[in-house]
Amino acid sequence: MRRAEGGGMALWRGLRCCRRAFAWLPVLLIALLLLWSYYGYVCELCLVTVSNPVEKVVYLVVFHILFVLFVWTYWKSVFTLPIQPGKKFHMSYADQERYENEERPEVQRQILAEIARKLPVYTRTGNGGIRFCDRCQLIKPDRCHHCSVCAMCVLKMDHHCPWVNNCIGFSNYKFFLLFLAYSLLYCLYIAATVFKYFIKYWTGELTNGRSKFHILFLLFVAVMFFVSLMFLFGYHCWLVSRNRSTLEAFSAPVFQNGPDKNGFNLGFVKNLQQVFGEEKKLWLLPIASSQGDGHFFPMRALSEARNPLLTNEEQWEEDGVDEEPQGPGEASSLAIERET
């Protein structure tokens, strides 16, 4: 029996390692494409094909600036770890035991309300309860969600991106936006400068066969990625202007008075400042400058909730929610969020 269990654990660990290795394939693909684009543009276009020395120098200088910005922002998006909620949002060992040993939903709700009474938590589950993660054993801060791929709760989670093999959230959302912007400019610049020489090869004015192959594919790949990135970057620009995450765009956050897709919308300028910071000189650099610590976010109607959990408890009491359930089906009315 023990050997069978040991074999099962070894198999599970092996599969987990394989999954982690495969998760890096999109990152490896982008790295290879980036290296090939560098070789094709610098060696085959600038050093072999372009004959005008001034044009050659300008092409190389601008290309290297965009290349460095592309690599820098991509590196930050990939290797900036997502931030988990602080210790004050986690359950203590005693609270965990008390919560897990309690079978009555209404008492479990009271335990969660007791723990979260002094926390800056204003969002709710779809049916008005406290947002609790049973995997991480914590009260979720506003805009925090559990990522099933990273196996942890992530502050201001936007989405899990396979192209960076990382969870995009509070810690690296600015870097991700800059990565999209600079990769868009990178592709646009390559396509714009290569197009003239593509026409020359097409019309037979230039005849170098090896460079022709690289320039043809540089143009094709640059245009293809430019089109796809344009839509993705435009969508995230719209999200930033409304102060929404990708998850919030699909499912509006729920407040004391119900769902409100504009609950965190403070106006265009303040929305930008929340992501990029107040110092405009840092906006275009992949340097952390976002406002706050990811645990609390200003809201459009903060005055409506003087103390989120206390106010909700009073509302539950007024509505008669604290009454004893009359059947086993009512036990499921406990609003504890278990999301991925």
The helix/strand/coil state of 85 is: coil
Sequence-separated (6 or more) residues with CB below 8 Å from residue 98 = 111
Closest CA to 149 of 167, 137, 131: 167
Nearest-angstrom CA–CA distance, 289 and 11: 43
Nearest-angstrom CA–CA distance, 229 and 180: 7
Nearest-angstrom CA–CA distance, 120 and 89: 10
What does each C-alpha distance from 333 to 108, 226, 306 come to in angstroms?
12, 48, 25
Q: Annotated catalytic, 43?
A: no
Instruction: Cite the DSSP H helix spans in the chain.
Output: 2-23, 25-38, 53-79, 93-101, 105-115, 173-203, 209-242, 246-250, 268-276, 308-319
In one-letter notation, the amino acid at residue 188 is L
Q: How many CA atoms lie within 13 A of 324 on its CB side?
A: 1
Cβ atoms within 10 Å of 70's Cβ, excluding its own: 22
Burial class (CB in 10 A: 0-12, 13-18, 19+), 180: buried
Burial class (CB in 10 A: 0-12, 13-18, 19+), 186: buried
Take residue 18 and report the two structure tokens written for it.
């394989």
Closest CA to 44 of 197, 210, 181, 278: 210
The active-site residue out of 133, 161, 167, 187 is: 161
CA triple 250-24-282, angle to 5 deg: 65
Active site residues: 161
